Structure 1
């Protein structure tokens, strides 16, 4: 089971504004290439995002289902990516200071061929992928929350050559 943590310079509500907008899914999830449809009830439990992963000319159509939605603390999804399989993805968000938060993403394969990959190898692959996923989520959520933030956003720190996490 892979776990990644990142400090964001925005509120938990800003993170959940991104998570709650299903059309943004391919903007922050590594591997998702396009959205085909978003259930009207997204992100309530049992609602679905209809997306594709991979690139043209062979994108694969699949879906992600909301299992738990408890803003601004927790979201749990079942992400399908057949023929690889399905994964349970949990995002926990906690406030940090006056205008920041900590986001933890935890992912584990729950069905399909991915469950046959040895855990240490799977964890390495998922850790790399979810580091970038949290990086993209930071761009979006910090952009939403820029109204009152006094610290530099992830994008601003990177453009100045500063450390990305901090």
Structure 2
């Protein structure tokens, strides 16, 4: 499992507002290219985001599903990006005064991505989620 953290200059509620707007997903998640649909119940457990990954014209339509959620505190996702595979992504929000420490834990759980050697997985996910947290910060801090 690879872990990244970043302190964001916004409250947990403000960060959660971004996470709970499924239409913003491709704006802050590296690799997600566009949204096709968002379940009306997002981010309730079992709800899905219907997105595309990749770069046009090589886009793959897939989805991300909420496995667990505690509003304002954490969300666990099953992110799909076939043919690469699926990942378990857990995002935690911890209040630090009027700011938020956001931590992402990610692990490839199935498909070819799960076969990557752990050092390679750590390096690629570390880079990707550093950028993901930076994008999330830009949005949440802009709304703050």
Q: Deviations 1:5-39 (Å, cap 9, x if unpaired)?
A: 00000000011100100000000000000000001
| Partner residue in 1 for 2:76 | 76
Counterparts of 1:49-68 in structure 2, within 5 Å, are 49-68=49-68
- Cα offset for 1:63? 0.3
Computing the radius of gyration over CA atoms, which structure comes out larger, 1 or 2? 1
Matches of 1:127 and 1:138 in 2, distance apart?
A: 16
* CA RMSD of superposed structures (Å): 0.6
Deviations 1:101-158 (A, max 9, x none): 100001000110111101111010000000000000001111111xxxxxxxxxxxxx
Q: Which whole-Å CA distance do the structure 2 matches of 1:83 and 1:112 have between them?
A: 7
- Structure 2, unmatched stretches of 5+, are none
Question: How far, CA to CA, are the matches of 1:58 and 1:119 in structure 2?
Answer: 27
TM-score (norm 1): 0.85
List runs of 5+ in structure 1 lacking aligned partners: 146-166
Give the C-alpha shift of residue 68 in structure 1: 1.0
SS at match of 1:40: coil
Structure 1's consecutive aligned runs of 4 or more residues displaced over 2 angstroms after TM superposition are: none
> In the TM superposition, what are the counterparts of 1:2-151 in structure 2 within 5 Å?
2-97=2-97, 99-145=98-144
TM value normalised by structure 2: 0.98
